[in-house]
Structure 1
């Protein structure tokens, strides 16, 4: 969790810039080494008889650490916050939920 917290802090500070990469990965480059990227992506799980798939897992790849975090875990929450911040949002404002309630006069 300490690694994810450091990545989140660096993303918030603008030290890490994330871009979309191939196969639904988001990626940032760090340093000058040959092996210098941090990447994450949502993993979609389809469970019969459910139609479609939901992003129940986030996968992280970086030098020295490859990990998967399932929804409901601290790792998923931190990596999801990194995702929200990397897209220019603020995970603490719950804007999507607020917009939903506003649209429905609640």
Structure 2
């Protein structure tokens, strides 16, 4: 880069509302979904890892990580969690950043639905 500057683009991460439900003896979140975009261009950022965390009353619970697809979308499906996860009102999606993109985090609602 001229002048020795490195350009790092800011990112935007958005997450869709999700549900958590009991399914027999299991507690399941059918889908956690987040979209990562370049905040300057609005274009999707593909090939980056997004980490999901369920925010329970007893503390954060790791829900896995997924690489974004060509549309910048990271989706975790059929996430099995402990029964205490039904206390969670939200989940967090986080992108830690890279040498070319700044990190971003978002929180979305997580609604408990009965069997």
**Common fold by TM > 0.5:** no
TM-score (norm: length of structure 2)? 0.27
Give the structure with the higher percent strand: 2
Higher relative contact order (CA 8 A, sep 6+): 2
Give the structure with the higher percent helix: 1
